[in-house]
């Protein structure tokens, strides 16, 4: 299965995840969630997908030799195929990232709108236009996953 969600670019097989740019800042939460939520019998190996030296691209991830299994109390998680578990984690990470972006935009928008209500000026209108452009772009990104 090929996963192409925002910044998460991966090939998922029945037993492994091959990530493009696993060290990218936005991808690190996905890598951490994979480590935490997926039980492993062997060391977790991720392959960076760049043409550099193979040793530099392959990373062994471990947490002191002990992987954290998914508790049985989480229901069907253990029964899902590996690929669906990875896809679920990817969707959770991307949705959390987008939710954070929405919260930041909202936090930035209220003071600008308050200032516009107090004083209509070219500068304030330009700020609102910029926020509207950011909102439109973010809305388009969010709607791809809903």
Instruction: Please spell the DSSP secondary structure of 39-106, one letter per residue.
Output: --SS-EEEE--SSS-HHHHEEEE-STT---PPPGGGGGGGGS-HHHHHHHHHHHHHHHHHHHHHHHHH
Return the pLDDT at 53: 36
**Sequence-distant (≥ 6) Cβ neighbours of residue 46 within 8 angstroms:** 17, 18, 19, 22, 31, 58, 59, 61
How far from each other are the two terminal CA atoms of the chain, in whole angstroms? 20
Can you tell me the distance from the alpha carbon of 54 to that of 30, in angstroms, rounded to the nearest whole number?
22
Each residue of 61-114: pLDDT tens digit?
433 333 444 454 455 555 889 999 999 999 999 999 999 999 999 999 999 999
Domain ranges of the chain: 2-143
Give the confidence band of 48 by pLDDT, cuts at 50, 70, 90: low
């Amino acid at each position: 299965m090929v996963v192409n969600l925002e910044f998460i670019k991966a090939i998922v097989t029945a037993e492994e995840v091959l990530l493009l740019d696993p060290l990218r800042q936005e991808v690190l939460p996905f890598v951490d969630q994979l480590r935490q939520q997926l039980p492993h019998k062997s060391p977790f190996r991720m392959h960076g997908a760049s043409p550099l030296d193979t040793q530099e691209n392959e990373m062994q991830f471990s947490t002191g030799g002990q992987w954290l299994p998914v508790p049985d109390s989480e229901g069907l998680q253990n029964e899902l195929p590996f690929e669906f578990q990875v896809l679920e984690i990817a969707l959770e990470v991307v949705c959390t990232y987008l939710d954070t972006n929405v919260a930041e935009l909202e936090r930035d928008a209220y003071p600008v709108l308050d200032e516009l209500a107090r004083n209509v000026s070219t500068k304030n209108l330009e700020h609102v236009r910029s926020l509207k452009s950011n909102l439109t772009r973010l809305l388009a990104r969010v709607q791809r996953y809903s």
